[in-house]
Amino acid sequence: MKKFVAGMLSFCMMATLIAGCNGGETTPTTTAAGGGETDATTTDNGGDETDAPSGDKEIINLWAFTDEVPKMVDKYLEDHPDFAAQYEVVTTIIATTNGEYQPALDQALINGGADAPDMYVCEAAFIAKYTQGEMAEYACPYSELGIDVDAEVAAADIAPYTMEIGSNPDGELVALGYQATGGAMIYRRSIAQDVFGTDDPDEIATIVGAGTNSWDDFYTAAEQLKDAGYAAISSIGDLWNVVKNAPGTTPWIVDDTLNIDPNRESFLDLAKDFLDNDWCNDTSAWNDAWFADMADASDRQVFCFFGPAWLVNYTIGANCGSYDADGNLIGSFEDGVGTYGDWAICPSPVGFFWGGSWVLANVNSEKKEAVGQIIEWITIDCTEDGLQYAWANGLMNEAGTGDCVASGTVMNISDGSTDFLGGQNMFDVFVPANAYASSDAMQPLDEDINSIWQEQVGLYAHGEKDRDAAIEDFQTQCNEQLDIAI
């Protein structure tokens, strides 16, 4: 049980690192774009280590929690030599692993001065704090960065939920992401064939009740899967990612008082039902057993996971058991090596999104126009020269892995077909999923409240306390730890 609780509490933290694709640093690093990372030093664009920036260029300070956005900036400088001749981008990377990024970022923004971030990156678990919460005052409206927000957002057809999250209390856009993380059901073709007689995504969608905003059909499917010797899901945490921001959910805090929305309260019953009925392998997300379920390396095969494109590309893909230690594909499911090629996707019973990173500018930066050019290229540019196109079409990594991006315009000119999904074009499912996603329930304290809720649900679902006690203890902890009225 302790292992379960620890896994649930680390869920969002680890998701940040995996969703970032490239992992985070364990210690703060400060570098200049174009060079390698070195502790407590900077590197000029030629790659030579120095104790300080060269002094020949204006400095733009970038703060991030993985090297994903810094690598994008490297690419921007490479493609825009005139800009690179004038500006040097100095990057500070602090991983979220031990909760170190936010306090350090907050202090740097508050302190101001020459070392303050000019631009910074926040992820889904805590973005609301920086766009609508206590640190929102430092987020510069995109309109002040030289960006024609209304026209460019319309041209790019940006996923609505990403803009909702990225708007300040005055309705001004202050942050956008490059990914779109609308979620789908990612399932095993061979298991679908065995149990349901088909692996066709449209038919499986009907069987599981895709788009119904109900779990009733999925319950029926889960029982059929169990009868055939399979688990429907690996971890009850997989369901929480769908439930926590489901469309129609109200926030945790309403009128300064703790509010348990019926959608979120339903997780108590979902979790217990899936454990009591043996529809779940009872793993914990981001643990070895969860990864083993992706590779057929556990005692009971798992039918599906719920997540966005990054879960397919960087998590299930990396743990499917079909690659060697050097990342080389050595076989597929058909060859009897792992599960590569045995996956497909269809819409989820309930719409959701999971993860993502947003890019912000400091309202106190003296280089807003220059920062705006970088942010515009990363988040809104919908031409084939922008980051969005390169990201969607796998031009930003050696493996050629494409990903869903925030621009619907870019997605419409990109191809998401992948052998990993048996040749299916994942964009056909993930693009509509972005429209179903909602950010209405998000608030600055979500990360802390969600952790407390998941722990109490886990204790109830495993029979360690009754339902009323779990709810009461959740309320008490929110009141005592977060000073939320109940």
pLDDT value at residue 48: 30
* φ and ψ at residue 109, rounded to 5 degrees: -70, -40
Instruction: State which H helix or E strand residue 475 sits in.
Output: helix 467-482
Residue 312 structure tokens: 């397919």
Q: Is residue 402 within 8 Å of residue 392, measured between CB atoms? A: yes
DSSP 3-state of 355: coil
Concatenated DSSP letters of 192-239: HHHHHS---HHHHHHHHTTTSS-SHHHHHHHHHHHHTT-BSBS-HHHH
Taking alpha carbons only, the member of 162, 167, 128 closest to residue 405 is 162
CA dist., res. 224 & res. 222, Å (int): 5
DSSP 8-state class, residue 323: B
Taking alpha carbons only, the member of 162, 98, 156, 216 closest to residue 413 is 156
CA dist., res. 208 & res. 215, Å (int): 8
Q: Is residue 275 within 8 Å of residue 239, measured between CB atoms? A: no
Burial of 214 (0-12, 13-18, 19+ CB in 10 A): exposed
Q: What is the CATH number of domain 22-172+357-384?
A: 3.40.190.10
Q: Where are the beta strands (DSSP E) in 41-140?
A: 42-43, 49-50, 58-64, 87-93, 119-123
Taking alpha carbons only, the member of 200, 391, 235, 252 closest to residue 307 is 235
Amino acid in position 236: I
pLDDT value at residue 97: 84
Q: Strands 58-64 and 87-93, how do they pair?
A: parallel
pLDDT value at residue 6: 37
DSSP 8-state class, residue 313: I
Q: How many CA atoms lie within 13 A of 325 on its CB side?
A: 0
Please say whether the dihedral angle defined by the alpha carbons of residues 329, 333, 338 and 342, taken in this order, is positive or negative: positive
pLDDT value at residue 26: 32
Q: Is residue 413 within 8 Å of residue 406, measured between CB atoms? A: no
How many residues in total does the chain contain?
A: 486
pLDDT value at residue 431: 87
Residue 293 burial (CB count, 10 A) = 26
Residue 116 structure tokens: 């303050």
Query: Edge-to-edge strand order for the sheet containing 343-346?
Result: 304-307, 184-188, 343-346
Q: Provide CB contacts within 8 A for 317, sequence distance 6+.
A: 340, 401, 420
Q: Is residue 149 within 8 Å of residue 173, measured between CB atoms? A: yes
DSSP H stretches of helix in 228-318: 236-243, 262-276, 288-294, 309-310
Taking alpha carbons only, the member of 176, 64, 39, 47 closest to residue 118 is 64
Residue 385 burial (CB count, 10 A) = 12
Tens digit of pLDDT at every position of the chain (486 positions): 433 333 433 333 344 344 443 333 333 444 444 333 323 333 333 333 333 455 689 999 999 999 999 999 999 999 999 999 999 999 999 999 888 999 999 999 999 999 999 999 999 999 999 999 999 999 999 999 999 999 999 999 998 889 999 999 999 999 999 988 999 999 999 999 999 999 999 999 999 999 999 999 999 999 999 999 999 999 999 999 999 988 889 999 999 999 999 999 999 999 999 999 999 999 999 999 999 999 999 999 999 999 999 999 989 999 999 999 988 999 999 999 999 999 999 999 999 989 899 999 999 999 999 999 999 999 999 999 999 999 999 888 777 778 899 998 999 899 999 999 999 999 999 988 887 787 888 889 999 999 999 999 999 999 999 999 999 999 999 999 999 999
Q: Is residue 378 within 8 Å of residue 150, measured between CB atoms? A: no
Concatenated DSSP letters of 409-436: HHHTTS--B-GGGTT-BTHHHHHHHHHH
pLDDT value at residue 8: 39
Taking alpha carbons only, the member of 21, 6, 7 closest to residue 391 is 21
Q: Is residue 404 within 8 Å of residue 181, measured between CB atoms? A: yes
